[in-house]
């Protein structure tokens, strides 16, 4: 297990019980990210680094009873919350895997992949290599999370770095968290929210 995964595990062990309540302000862009996947009934979607599974019900609703939702999460504490949510959901073709991005075996070829507030995961080339080796060209990819404010509001970036110490261990590319992800895509676009501290990345795997 990498040091980064171990560090993240310690962080999320402390956060798991209150994570949903403390991150409720990002629920809107989470919904936008799920919608941007353009899921259809019968498709398979991967929720990479699914955390507490907040997106699982939305994904399951989109792919329907004939579709499949797969989520993986390295933190046992976060995954326990997701498992509880999954039991309430009752979607028989949703499965969760306790694994890191570097080691996960998805067991299916996804039509779409979601990265929702998974900054550390997006900075791991080994994780991205492993995940995308199990996908096919043309797979739809959506990512969302926090980015640094643009230059005109640079003083606010100290606040972002300070507050995100609870959820991020690797601050590389915090100005453009999708930088590595974009290299796997044949096409992509990025939209920023006002005032610019959140992003929505949409790409097609090359």
Distance from C-alpha of 12 to C-alpha of 18, rounded to nearest angstrom:
10
| Of residues 158 and 78, more confidently modeled | 78
Q: Determine how many CB atoms are found less than 10 A away from the CB of residue 153.
A: 12
Give 16's pLDDT tier (boundaries 50, 70, 90).
confident
Size of the chain in residues: 206
Mean pLDDT of all residues in 117-145 = 98
Q: Report the number of distinct structural domains present in the chain.
A: 1
Residue 108 and residue 68 in contact, taking contact as beta carbons nearer than 8 Å: yes
Least confident range from 9-18, 45-54, 104-113, 184-193: namely 9-18
Domain residue limits at 67: 3-205
In 3D, which of 112, 148, 121, 142 has the Cα closest to residue 51?
121
In tens, the pLDDT along 154-195 reads 778 887 888 888 789 899 999 999 999 999 999 999 999 867
Q: Does the pLDDT of residue 1 top 70, yes or no?
A: no
Distance from C-alpha of 70 to C-alpha of 114, rounded to nearest angstrom:
10
Instruction: Report pLDDT for 164.
Output: 84
Bridge partners of 190, per DSSP, are 201
Least confident range from 55-59, 150-154, 181-185: namely 150-154
Helix or strand (DSSP H, E) at 144 = strand 140-146
Q: What is the CATH number of the domain that holds 122?
A: 3.40.50.150
Give 41's pLDDT tier (boundaries 50, 70, 90).
very high
Q: Determine how many CB atoms are found less than 10 A away from the CB of residue 88.
A: 9
């Amino acid at each position: 297990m990498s040091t980064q995964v171990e560090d993240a595990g310690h962080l999320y062990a402390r956060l798991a019980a209150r994570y949903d309540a403390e991150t409720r302000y990002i629920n809107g862009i989470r919904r936008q990210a799920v919608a941007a996947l353009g899921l259809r009934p019968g498709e398979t979607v991967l929720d990479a680094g699914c955390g507490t599974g907040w997106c699982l019900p939305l994904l399951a609703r989109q792919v329907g009873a004939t579709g499949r939702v797969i989520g993986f999460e390295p933190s046992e504490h976060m995954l326990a919350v997701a498992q509880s949510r999954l039991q309430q959901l009752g979607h028989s073709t949703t499965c969760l895997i306790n694994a890191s991005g570097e080691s996960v075996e998805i067991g299916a070829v996804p039509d779409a992949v979601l990265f929702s507030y998974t900054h550390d995961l997006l900075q791991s080339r080994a994780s991205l290599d492993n995940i995308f080796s199990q996908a096919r060209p043309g797979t739809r990819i959506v990512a969302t999370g926090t980015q640094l404010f643009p230059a005109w509001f640079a003083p606010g970036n100290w606040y972002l770095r300070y507050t995100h110490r609870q959820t991020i261990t690797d601050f590389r590319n915090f100005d453009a968290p999708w930088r590595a992800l974009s290299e796997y895509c044949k096409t992509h676009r990025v939209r920023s929210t006002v005032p610019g501290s959140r992003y929505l990345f949409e790409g097609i795997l090359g």
